[in-house]
């Protein structure tokens, strides 16, 4: 697998051109078409952009580590004049009228978007099977799901189509597919990356983040897309550093918190053993392991599904068949226009979550569900706050075991929901997290470790992740 | 009058006079080409996010301070969810609803005062003022095939002012609404024009059997767009609820509209049909944190409010409380008068001119005072010309008509038309002599003691002088000649 750093080196030494990189990327996309990682491939524009990048470089005006590098973006990120579907029939023919801030920043850094990747419809799912455009396949084992919802972006990187990609993470939608496909995926702190132009699933949980084949590449992409945005009131004003420059600090003296609740029942034995082995190695490198407790963590998944669906039910109201998107034919009454357009335009999982969300916000149920879930969210956030008083980073599994078998998500949605058990709490508390492979399970499938950082301390998080990466190489 | 005691509260929506919309930078301009001022945010495009308009927040705070409210330095945005084709996102961003924990409007717990007919001052509580966005407009008459959508109004900033149920009669309700309109104008927060809909009022009303009985069941009458309609609708509803109670039936909680033509309130939604708006905190924006220094600076720059201006007019210009009330009712009139009065030798006379001459004419102008050609300084100058005997009051009316028509300064008109009052005694004497010669018979009678004929001679002299003779001098000279 190529890294962004290697490709940039080759570009700068004239070993290759951006045009060849894009051509190679397009060829690989074509070759791996059966994986169904892409919804749209933007060959023409990508080749034009490559020529421009090559000219810049020839003129000595290369604009940084991403200049001329092919990347992919999840299809819930708006790109002006380009089809942006969120993998839904309701947006099958929707051309975005503007470009998302994160995407624009990636373009401004010279990255070239070769395509828009497949995903769970409206990012609702952990298997990338609920797409209107068909399921994404896991290149490591086609009988297993590639994870989701950003499965297409993960597979695009894992199958060598692009060295980096953007996804969005609402409950684990970057970290989980990264783990399923054996690559690195990161969810930044809530507010670190602008959500403007990201088709919202659950606004208070959504965050855009990078996929890469290595930690440094993720740092490079994050540096390009992060920072305050006047179009997103929830972005933080904290200055954005070049996260790739602070790597290499190692783990000497770092206190690693190990939540006892995460390494208990529910975690597959070989998975647990692999992660514990990695932690033992880090201890040898000078890290201090410390057991911590997150007492309210067992309520995270329930709390997450209430808050996420509540927000989703409102966020998805705009898809009503009136101004854009799918409109049911032959309707003559306003109610029918709404009911039929939405029933025909949304898939089953999306409808399930809209109904659940509407239910938890309904008067009479509001206190028992939404208000309660918000209280739990507060408690979980406080748990982490308290835990971080005595440690620098927290280690955890990314998934309870191997990726689910294809088809589980529709036959047993609860099993899919529970696969988010280690990831959702970060979205609830807004914390940054990164996942990377640290070994293999007995089925020869990569096992990933998840590192959880303090708010806005992505630098520290990335440097521990990189130390882990070097250890397991 | 009903034997029951009405309890009334008002909800007033007004459009804030910002240049741009509440959550995006599109211009606010409604009567223009449809969908001229739109962007991904106000069109509710996928992925677009709202960002609060600082000016709108400033206006809301200014209004809150003018209505003696507490300002919430940590206000919250919420979503009100419902489907309608004029609502692009499927929800309205507002600052109300849900549980108390999610209810943090920008302003709360204020009050205003109105002067009742008996001269007493009544205080009415302001429960809250919150900000929200307006919806778009559906146009149904463009084509027979379907309705059209104009998003120019989408996202226009609104404030909703909610009063406590402190109002006890439809007439009081009108006074309260007038006061709020006045304050909106004085603070320049809104154009507060009811005719073009940038101010609307809903009235909540219930009846009870005594002044200290618990509140009865209320009806809410929506979209009352004039003071008259507010009063009439409340009166019609009082009548209806009285009949219901007299028949020993229960008033049902409902939402109504007012049918102007039939002078009746009509149910549009019963309590059972009430929407469940599923309010919850708006997750696309952080809480609206306001710096107390910002509030302080708005407080310090708060303009003079109607009550203060009225009192100042009485004290500084020695005009009557009634005149001051009339002159401060509308902000632009008060500013006009104030400007003129500062340069006038007799503000009391000026007040009469403004009230009985100027405002009478203004009523017929399409855009009211802004269409008036007379400069305030010029009306002051006109009064000054009367004061220093340059012209008579009668001539002044003639000059005023010219000023109104042309906008010219009064001294220019007086000069052009030769209207300067004749105060030269010999000139007046010669006119009086002419009149006496022509009417010798009557003059002899006058001389003999028929005092009533004096008016006739004064009238004749004034007529002959083209109204320019100083009437005082004419009287003196006539008396002198009669005594000879």
**Is pLDDT at B1 greater than 60 in this prediction?**
no
pLDDT in tens, B224-236: 999 999 999 999 9
pLDDT in tens, A74-93: 999 999 999 999 999 999 99
| % of chain A exceeding 70 in pLDDT | 100
Q: Which residue of A has its CA nearest to B51?
A: A233
**What residues in B contact A230, CB-CB < 8 Å?**
51
Mean pLDDT of the B347-365 span: 92
| % of chain B exceeding 70 in pLDDT | 99
Mean pLDDT of the B71-85 span: 97
Q: How far is C-alpha B417 from the chain's CA centre?
A: 38
**Is pLDDT at B462 greater than 90 in this prediction?**
no
pLDDT (0 to 100) of residue A59: 96
Is A432:A186 a contact under the CB 8 Å cutoff?
yes
Mean pLDDT of the A147-164 span: 98
Selected for mutation to probe chain A from B49, B92, B93 (highest A CB count within 10 Å) is: B49
Mean pLDDT of the A109-114 span: 98
Of A134, A132, A141, A204, the C-alpha closest to A424 is: A204
A362 touches chain B (CB under 8 A): yes
Mean pLDDT of the B34-49 span: 97
pLDDT in tens, B186-207: 999 999 999 888 899 999 999 9
Choosing from A131, A149, A409, A429, the catalytic residue is A149
CB contact under 8 A, B51 and A97: no
Cα separation, B181 vs B191, whole angstroms: 9
CB contact under 8 A, A370 and B276: no
Is A149 a residue of the active site?
Answer: yes
Q: Label each residue of A181-210 as H, E or C.
A: HCCEEEECCCCCECCCCECCCCCCCCEEEE
Cα B284 to Cα A195, A196, B237: the distances in Å are 9, 10, 41
pLDDT in tens, B361-414: 888 888 889 899 999 999 999 999 999 888 888 889 989 999 999 999 998 998
Mean pLDDT of the B118-137 span: 96
DSSP string, B178-206: HHHHHHHHHTTS----TTTTSEEEEEEEE
pLDDT (0 to 100) of residue B292: 98
A153 touches chain B (CB under 8 A): no
pLDDT in tens, B306-330: 999 999 999 999 999 999 999 999 9
**Is pLDDT at B448 greater than 90 in this prediction?**
no
pLDDT (0 to 100) of residue A275: 97
Is A168 a residue of the active site?
Answer: no
Exposure class string for A352-387: b at 16+ Cβ within 10 A, else e? ebbebbbbbbeeeebeebbbbbbebbebbbebbeeb
pLDDT in tens, B237-258: 999 999 999 999 999 999 999 9
Of B341, B309, B340, B338, the C-alpha closest to B325 is: B309
Mean pLDDT of the B46-72 span: 98
pLDDT (0 to 100) of residue B187: 97
Cα separation, B269 vs B256, whole angstroms: 7
Q: Which long-range contacts (CB under 8 A, 24 or more apart) does A380-386 make?
A: A380/A294, A380/A296, A380/A297, A380/A299, A380/A300, A380/A303, A380/A425, A380/A428, A380/A429, A381/A428, A381/A429, A381/A430, A383/A293, A383/A294, A383/A295, A383/A296, A383/A297, A384/A294, A384/A425, A384/A429, A384/A431, A384/A452
Give the gap in angstroms from C-alpha A149 to the nearest C-alpha of chain B: 17
C-beta neighbour count of A301 within 10 angstroms: 21
Mean pLDDT of the B89-101 span: 90
**Is pLDDT at B459 greater than 80 in this prediction?**
yes
Question: Mean pLDDT in chain A?
Answer: 96
Q: Which residue of A has its CA nearest to B138?
A: A322
**Is pLDDT at B463 greater than 90 in this prediction?**
no
Give the gap in angstroms from C-alpha B218 to the nearest C-alpha of chain A: 21
Complex-level ipTM? 0.95
The answer to which of A24-38, B317-331, B437-451 has the lowest mean pLDDT is B437-451
**What residues in A contact B280, CB-CB < 8 Å?**
310-311, 314, 361, 370
Is B223:B257 a contact under the CB 8 Å cutoff?
yes
C-beta neighbour count of B449 within 10 angstroms: 9
Whether residue B457 is preceded by a cis peptide bond, meaning omega within 30 degrees of 0, is no
Cα separation, A228 vs B286, whole angstroms: 13
- Which of the 8 DSSP states describes residue A407? T
Q: Which residue of B has its CA nearest to A362?
A: B278
Beta strands in A309-370, from DSSP E residues, in sequence order: none
**Is pLDDT at A3 greater than 60 in this prediction?**
yes
pTM over 0.90: yes
Contacts of A456 (CB under 8 A, 6+ apart): A189, A192, A236, A238, A432
pLDDT in tens, A122-132: 999 999 999 99
pLDDT in tens, A34-82: 999 999 999 999 999 999 999 999 999 999 999 999 999 999 999 999 9
pLDDT in tens, A272-289: 999 999 999 999 999 999
3-state secondary structure of A170: coil
List of domains in chain A = 4-225 (3.90.1300.10)
pLDDT higher at B398 or A178: A178
Residues of B contacting chain A (CB within 8 angstroms) = 40, 43-52, 79, 81, 83, 85, 88-91, 98-99, 101, 149, 276, 278, 280, 283-286
- B266 φψ region: left (φ > 0), alpha (ψ -120 to 50), beta (else): beta
- A233 vs B46, B52, B79: nearest CB: B52
pLDDT (0 to 100) of residue A415: 77
pLDDT band at residue B208 under the 50/70/90 scheme: very high
pLDDT (0 to 100) of residue B449: 83
A323 touches chain B (CB under 8 A): yes
**Is pLDDT at B211 greater than 80 in this prediction?**
yes
**Is pLDDT at B2 greater than 70 in this prediction?**
no
Which phi and psi (to 5°) does residue A413 adopt? -55, -30
**Is pLDDT at B263 greater than 60 in this prediction?**
yes
Tokens of B39: 């962007």
Mean pLDDT of the A240-258 span: 90
3-state secondary structure of B366: coil
């Amino acid at each position: 697998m190529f890294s962004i750093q290697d490709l940039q080196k080759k570009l700068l030494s004239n070993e290759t051109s951006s045009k060849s990189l894009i051509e190679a990327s397009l060829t690989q996309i074509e070759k791996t078409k059966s994986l169904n990682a892409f919804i749209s491939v933007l060959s023409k524009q990508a080749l034009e952009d490559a020529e421009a990048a090559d000219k810049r470089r020839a003129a000595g005006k290369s604009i940084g580590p991403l200049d001329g590098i092919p990347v992919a973006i999840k299809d819930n990120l708006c790109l002006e004049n380009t089809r942006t579907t969120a993998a839904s029939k309701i947006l099958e023919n929707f051309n975005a009228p503007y470009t998302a801030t994160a995407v624009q920043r990636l373009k401004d850094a010279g990255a070239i978007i070769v395509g828009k990747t497949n995903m769970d419809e409206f990012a609702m799912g952990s298997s990338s099977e609920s797409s209107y455009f068909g399921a994404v396949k896991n290149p490591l084992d086609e009988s297993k799901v590639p994870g989701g919802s950003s499965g297409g972006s993960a597979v695009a990187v894992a199958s060598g189509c692009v060295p980096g990609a953007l996804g969005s993470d609402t409950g684990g939608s970057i970290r989980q597919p990264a783990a399923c496909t054996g690559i690195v995926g990161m969810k930044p702190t809530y507010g670190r990356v602008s959500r403007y132009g990201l088709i919202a699933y659950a606004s208070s949980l959504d965050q855009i983040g990078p996929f890469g084949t290595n930690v440094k590449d993720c740092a490079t992409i994050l540096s390009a897309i992060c920072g305050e945005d006047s179009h997103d009131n929830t972005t933080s004003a904290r200055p954005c550093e070049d996260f790739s420059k602070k790597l290499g600090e190692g783990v000497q003296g770092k206190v690693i918190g190990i939540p006892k609740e995460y390494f208990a029942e529910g975690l597959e034995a070989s998975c647990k053993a692999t992660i514990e082995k990695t932690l033992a190695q880090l201890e040898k490198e000078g890290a201090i392991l410390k057991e911590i407790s997150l007492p309210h963590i067992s309520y995270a998944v329930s709390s997450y599904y209430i808050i996420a669906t509540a927000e989703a039910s409102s966020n998805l109201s705009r898809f009503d068949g009136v101004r854009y998107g799918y409109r049911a034919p032959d309707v003559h009454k306003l109610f029918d226009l709404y009911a039929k357009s939405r029933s025909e335009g949304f898939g089953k999982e999306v409808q399930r979550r809209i109904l659940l969300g509407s239910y938890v916000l309904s008067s009479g149920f509001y206190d028992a569900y939404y208000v309660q879930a918000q209280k739990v969210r507060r408690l979980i956030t406080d748990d982490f706050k308290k835990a971080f008083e005595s440690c620098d980073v927290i280690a955890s599994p990314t998934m309870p075991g191997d990726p689910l078998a294809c088809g589980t998500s529709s036959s047993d949605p609860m099993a899919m929901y529970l696969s988010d058990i280690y990831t959702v709490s970060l979205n609830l508390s807004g914390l940054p997290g990164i996942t990377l492979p640290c070994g293999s399970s007995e089925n020869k499938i990569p096992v990933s470790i998840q590192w959880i950082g303090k708010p806005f301390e992505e630098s520290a998080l990335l440097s521990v992740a990189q130390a882990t990466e070097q250890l397991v190489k | 009058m009903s034997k029951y005691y009405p309890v009334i509260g008002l909800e007033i929506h007004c459009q804030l006079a910002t240049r741009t919309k509440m959550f995006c930078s599109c211009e606010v301009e409604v009567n223009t080409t449809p969908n001229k001022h739109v962007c991904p945010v106000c069109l509710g495009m996928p992925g677009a996010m709202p960002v609060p308009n600082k000016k709108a927040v400033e206006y809301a705070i200014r209004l809150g301070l003018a209505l003696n409210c507490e300002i919430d330095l940590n206000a919250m945005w919420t979503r009100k969810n419902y489907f309608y084709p004029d609502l692009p996102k499927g929800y309205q961003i507002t600052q109300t609803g849900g549980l108390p924990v999610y209810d943090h409007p920008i302003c709360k717990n204020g009050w205003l005062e109105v002067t009742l007919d008996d001269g007493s001052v009544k205080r009415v509580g302001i429960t809250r003022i919150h900000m929200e966005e307006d919806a778009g407009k559906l146009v149904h008459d463009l084509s027979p095939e379907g309705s059209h959508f104009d998003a120019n109004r989408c996202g226009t900033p609104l404030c909703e002012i909610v009063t406590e149920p402190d109002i006890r009669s439809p007439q009081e309700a009108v006074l309260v609404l007038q006061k709020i309109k006045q304050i909106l104008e004085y603070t320049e927060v809104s154009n507060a024009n009811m005719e073009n809909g940038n101010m609307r009022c809903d009235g909540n009303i219930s009846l009870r059997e005594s002044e200290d009985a618990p509140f009865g069941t209320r009806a809410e009458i929506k979209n009352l767009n004039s003071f008259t309609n507010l009063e009439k609708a409340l009166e019609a509803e009082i009548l209806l609820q009285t009949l219901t109670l007299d028949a020993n039936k229960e008033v049902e909680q409902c939402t109504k509209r007012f049918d102007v033509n039939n002078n009746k309130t009509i149910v549009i939604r019963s309590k059972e049909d009430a929407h469940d708006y599923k309010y919850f905190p708006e997750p696309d924006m952080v809480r609206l944190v306001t710096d107390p220094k910002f509030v302080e600076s708005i407080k310090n720059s708060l303009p003079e409010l109607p009550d203060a201006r009225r009192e100042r007019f009485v004290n500084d210009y020695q005009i009557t409380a009634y005149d001051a009330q009339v002159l401060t009712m509308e902000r632009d009139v008060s500013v006009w008068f104030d400007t003129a009065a500062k340069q006038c030798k007799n503000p009391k006379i000026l007040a009469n001119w403004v009230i009985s001459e100027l405002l009478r004419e203004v009523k017929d102008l399409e855009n009211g005072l802004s269409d008036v050609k007379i400069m305030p300084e010029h009306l002051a100058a006109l009064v000054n010309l009367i004061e220093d005997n340059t012209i008579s009051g009668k001539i002044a009316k003639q000059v005023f008509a010219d000023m109104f028509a042309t906008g010219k300064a009064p001294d220019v008109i007086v000069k052009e038309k030769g209207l300067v009052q004749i105060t030269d005694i010999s000139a007046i004497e010669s006119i009086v002599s002419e009149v006496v010669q022509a009417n010798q018979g009557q003059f002899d009678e006058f001389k003999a003691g028929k005092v009533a004929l004096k008016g006739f001679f004064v009238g004749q002299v004034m007529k002959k002088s083209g109204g320019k003779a100083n009437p005082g001098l004419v009287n003196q000279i006539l008396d002198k000649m009669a005594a000879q």
